[in-house]
Chain A
Amino acid sequence: MLLNTKEGTIVVSPLVNLAGAGAGFAVVVFAIPVLAGQLIGTKSAKIRKVNLYNNAAGNTQVIIGNGIPCVAVMPALDSINGLFDSYGPDELVEFETFADITAYPVALAAGTSIDIQLELLILG
């Protein structure tokens, strides 16, 4: 085969702490790469995996989307009190975004937080 048909490059986001509940407290989890000085080279991203760690925040849900306030791009993901939750390609649809990815927990016990990290496929 002439060209590698592998879609793109797999990267991981930083480990981000979500310490505020509600769409207005969403945090940027992954910023779409912009290659400075490159005239062309638009990048997009597909989320392959979502890892959540619930820091005694209570049973809640995490919303993943675009923008602040965050607009959801997929159904809410459950985050169970005090546990690690992982969602992979079997659970997630191949949503593609050209905008930075943001996330927030629906609710948090006072003084707690949820850690989130994404694995993504970068295209373009």
Chain B
Amino acid sequence: MPDLYIFKAQVGMFDPLALQNQNVCIHYVQNTYYRKVDFLEALPPFQCLNIGALGAAGISARTNVVNLEMPDNEFGLFRWYPIDDAQIRLFHPAGMAKWQLRNLQVTIDMQVLVRDPNLVSTEIAVWQNNRPAMEAINGNAFALGAVRIIAIGYRFHTIDLESTDKELVKALKAGTQPCTHVWCSGRGIGD
């Protein structure tokens, strides 16, 4: 299935990474879950978080993005951007830095809409209630009235394969059946 993968870039709304009855492998930190998609729907752009007012040159508290939590057996696929002039640091889950280089944790700001119009580089997935968290950095010499985040994406309901179809899981692990791998967390450096 070469057309099913994360971080797709194309003109228009981004594609879901799996369709009805297709297999996914959900990675959450060091855990993997082989599952099949049995429902999906799009999530139109919505304001998922307002970190709140932020003083001049201030850094906000780390704020859980509870509105990106998914119900049991579901994962969400999101792309997102801020609409206020702050830099955002992402943590996923809350204790793990996302977009971590050796010497720098990469941030995102409003300019991402110009520099990466498809928001490919912002794509994250959320497994059940394992939500991400964000910190906002105000580099301005004036206060910001709010730091608001807009997200857009897909919702996928899945069914477990490991307890119902061990042969298929074996084939998915061996790579003889198609399966899309979805990272629903960051990963510690050196892990």
Contacts and interface: CB of A to CB of B under 8 A. Distances in A.
Nearest to A41: B47
Nearest to A40: B47
A48 B136 CA distance: 28
A3 B152 contact: yes
B145 A2 contact: no
Interface stretch (B33-41, B111-119, B160-168): B111-119
A2 B14 contact: yes
Contacts of A39: 67
Interface string B140-154: 000001101000100
Contacts of A44: 145-146
B71 to A, nearest CB: 17
Contact of A2 (B67, B83, B117): B117
Given A40-B50, A42-B50, A2 B146 contact: no
The main secondary structure of chain A at its interface with chain B is loop
B110 to A, nearest CB: 10
Interface residues of A, number: 14
B146 A3 contact: no
B47 A96 contact: no
The main secondary structure of chain B at its interface with chain A is mixed
Contacts of B48: 40
Contacts, number: 42
Contacts of B49: 40
A2 B152 CA distance: 11
B146 A98 contact: yes
A39 B49 CA distance: 10
B83 A3 contact: no
B145 A97 contact: yes
A42 B48 CA distance: 10
B104 interface: no
Interface string A89-104: 0000000111000000
8 contacts: A2-B79, A5-B113, A42-B50, A42-B146, A96-B145, A97-B145, A124-B146, A124-B148
In the complex, the 9 A-B pairs of residues with the closest C-beta atoms, listed nearest first: A98-B145, A1-B117, A2-B118, A42-B50, A5-B113, A42-B146, A41-B47, A40-B47, A124-B148
